[in-house]
Amino acid sequence: MAYYEQKSKNSYKIVVSMGYDSNGKHRRVSKTVKLPENMSASKRQKELNTLCVLFQQEVENGLYLDGSTFAEFAEKWLADYAEKNLAPTTLVSYKIILNRILPVIGHITLSKLQPHHLIQFYNSLDEEGARLDGRFTPTKHLTKYLEPLKLSHIIKTTGISSKTCRRLKIGMATNYSTAQKLCNTYKLDFNRMFKGNSEKKLTRKTIRNHHIVIHSILSTAVDWNIIINNPAERAKPQKINKSKAKYYNDKQVANMLNALRSEPLMYMTMIYLAIDIGLREGELTGLKWEDINFDLRS
């Protein structure tokens, strides 16, 4: 239920409760309104009551986003922007990346998200164990939480298979997708409930892709007048290490062409084209007769 608090003579703060977050902290959103000085007490009371009702409706219908967390806005961004504007393959990759982003910064409200939050996140991705293709073992906090729950209840509420649920209850490892599904269902802190045992590191390019997703979401928040500026503009991930290009030297090319003499003409042609023009495999295999200009011999 919404209520108001007087801040000054004609200024009031309207507050709406949004329940509790994953850490059990009471979340509230508010906005400040100003009323005309010449309003009577009865009209002022009536106007404030009306504003409380309207503001609560905005919050409940997802129309008021100023107090939204990054996770809440990301969900609306996916539905209202990404689903309608991104290519299917791009959308899938963004959703996979969000599975790694939201457990870390999803709880932070947009207005409080700062560059240092993002820099800390990018640095954590550069550490061992940041990949999601490893195994995730339940901690003692999760086994304690699951202990009183019946197996049938876990299966029904999470949609996880009975075999996997049995393994989780006795503390056996699972994959990231299952661990995330369990935590989302019961509103649990992923990092507190599971310990990853992957020793692989993310590449700098993959980390930059996380930055691209965050930047895109926050840019939309700026466009929609939810936040004034984009903190991702001032938080850059570490530079990508450029690998030195590998290529054949003159002797290696001569040996390869010499070996091609006994091969079918089709393969000889493909290799000669690749060497002479620099075509990649996909470009070579995609060539058609109409791509060749016999008059200009090109």
Q: Give the pLDDT confidence of 110-144 residue by residue, as tens digits.
A: 888 999 999 999 988 876 555 555 678 899 999 99
pLDDT at 89: 86
Cβ atoms of 12 and 48 closer than 8 Å:
yes
Single pTM value for the model: 0.49
Least confident range of 26-30, 50-54, 232-236, 287-291: 26-30
The predicted pLDDT at position 64 comes to: 60
> Is 243 part of a structural domain of the chain?
no
For residue 192, which of 239, 138, 258 has the smallest C-alpha distance?
138
Q: Is the pLDDT assigned to residue 285 strictly greater than 60?
A: yes
My answer on whether 77 and 34 are in the same domain is no
Give domain status of residue 297, yes or no.
no
* Residue 104 counted as domain residue: yes
What are 30's strand-pairing partners?
15
User: In the prediction, which pLDDT does 33 show?
Assistant: 84
- Across 19-23, 61-65, 114-118, 277-281, the highest mean pLDDT is recorded for 114-118
Give residue 119's pLDDT: 93
Lowest-pLDDT range, 3-17, 49-63, 94-108, 122-136? 122-136
Residues 20 and 56 in one domain: yes
pLDDT of residue 155: 93
Do 79 and 102 reside in the same domain of the chain? yes
Percent of the chain past pLDDT 90, that is, above it, reads: 28
Query: Both 268 and 144 in a single domain?
Result: no
* Domain co-membership, 230 together with 212: yes
User: Does 206 lie in the same domain as 117?
Assistant: yes
Asked if residue 98 belongs to a domain, the reply is yes
Q: How confident is the model at residue 69 (pLDDT cuts 50, 70, 90)?
A: confident
Q: How far apart are CA 125 and CA 238, in angstroms?
A: 10
Residues 13 and 160 in one domain: no
Residue 165 within a domain:
yes
> Tell me: the pLDDT tens digits for 155-175?
999 999 999 999 999 999 888
Residues facing 137 on adjacent strands: 195
What's residue 191's pLDDT? 83
CATH number assigned to the domain comprising residue 145? 1.10.260
Amino acid letter, residue 83: E
Q: Both 224 and 86 in a single domain? A: yes
Q: Is the pLDDT of residue 201 over 80?
A: no
Based on the domain organization, do 100 and 212 belong to the same domain?
yes
Say if residue 96 is in the same domain as residue 205: yes
What is the count of structural domains for the chain?
4
The answer to whether position 245 is within a domain reads no
Minimal CA–CA distance to 18: which of 9, 29, 10?
A: 29
93 with 223, same domain: the answer is: yes
Average pLDDT of the residues in 48-67 = 76
Residue 109 is part of which domain span? 70-127+201-234
Q: Cα-atom radius of gyration of the chain, to the nearest Å?
A: 28
Both tokens of 256, joined, read: 């390869």
Highest mean pLDDT of the ranges 103-117, 142-156, 259-273: 142-156
Closest CA to 2 of 49, 69, 70: 49
pLDDT at 223: 87
Whether 244 is covered by a domain: the verdict is no
Q: 190 and 205, same structural domain? A: no
Tokens of 161: 């298979």
Residue 65 placed within a domain: no
Handedness of CA 161, 164, 165, 166 (dihedral sign): positive
